[in-house]
Amino acid sequence: MSEPETSFLSPRKFLSHPALLTLPALAILILVMAVPLGTVISRSFTEGDAFLDNYYWFFNTPVNMTVLIRTFRIAAVVTLVCVIVAYPYAYAMSVVGPRLRLFLIMCVLVPFWVSGVVRTLAWVILLQDSGVINKTLLALGFDKVKLIRTQLGVTIGMTQILLPFMIMPLYAVMRGIDLRLIQAAKSLGAHPVKTFFQVYLPLSLPGVFAGATIVFILALGFYITPMLLGGTQSSMLSTLVQQQVLSLLNWGRGGAMGVVLLIATFGFLALAAPFMRQKYKMSGGSR
């Protein structure tokens, strides 16, 4: 007897199409992201005297362009510092013994589990003119350094908060590198520095690019840390969006700012994608 034909929504038919398993996630994504984003985009065009009035205001206000450039500059600097700090730390995590590796991983994850607001408030205390850092500098015979309400303070705070997003992708890639390649290069007479730059570094580049992309995108949207550590002279675009939406109740201009930041981010990623893809293939990722 032939098996009776099942309906399209029967569990067996549903499970036979893996793509259908993504429907719940797609529904949630549309509900919590696509709908709000579409509303913001719509209001950026419809709230104003003309169709592009909010965008005309944004690009013809010098302070907006200054803050936009500052946002990308701070995000780029934070990403670069994260790469410099995270690379040796992730390398150490990948080569040490199990107990020390567990300790290093916990040093990354425990601060990561603490709220970003709490960590930012801790940096507010540390970076003050009478804080621990400046007291230490004075005790060592140096002059005080202005840290709070500066872009340097913003960079320090954002780097500390975003560092786990750089370390963990790097560690995941470095753990997969076959260290016998390093030993083979050394056995053939290669200098350790040359071995690192010609063998190990290219193999670890996918982790560098993955972590840098995550950190850069997250840094562009930071709000609390720049507001508390930077003040008005170091504000980022997210702060201006908050002022327009929550303080001035101008959803059109706030939406236009958000759309400009979103398009600029996608444009940057589109420009960086071919370079990242080329480096990934050079590192052997195409195999």
What parts of the chain have a pLDDT lower than 70?
Answer: 1-16, 276-287
User: Of the candidates 156, 159, 171, which has an alpha carbon nearest to the alpha carbon of residue 208?
Assistant: 171
**In terms of pTM, does the model score above 0.85?**
no
Q: How far is CA 208 from the centre of its chain?
A: 12
| pLDDT at residue number 74 | 93
| pLDDT at residue number 156 | 92
pLDDT tens by residue, 188-246:
888 888 888 888 888 888 889 889 989 998 998 888 888 888 877 778 888 888 888 88
Core vs surface per residue 132-161: b (16+ CB within 10 A) or e: ebbeeeeeeeeeeeebbbbbbbbbbbbbbb
| pLDDT at residue number 2 | 47
| pLDDT at residue number 284 | 56
| pLDDT at residue number 83 | 95
| pLDDT at residue number 171 | 93
| pLDDT at residue number 245 | 86
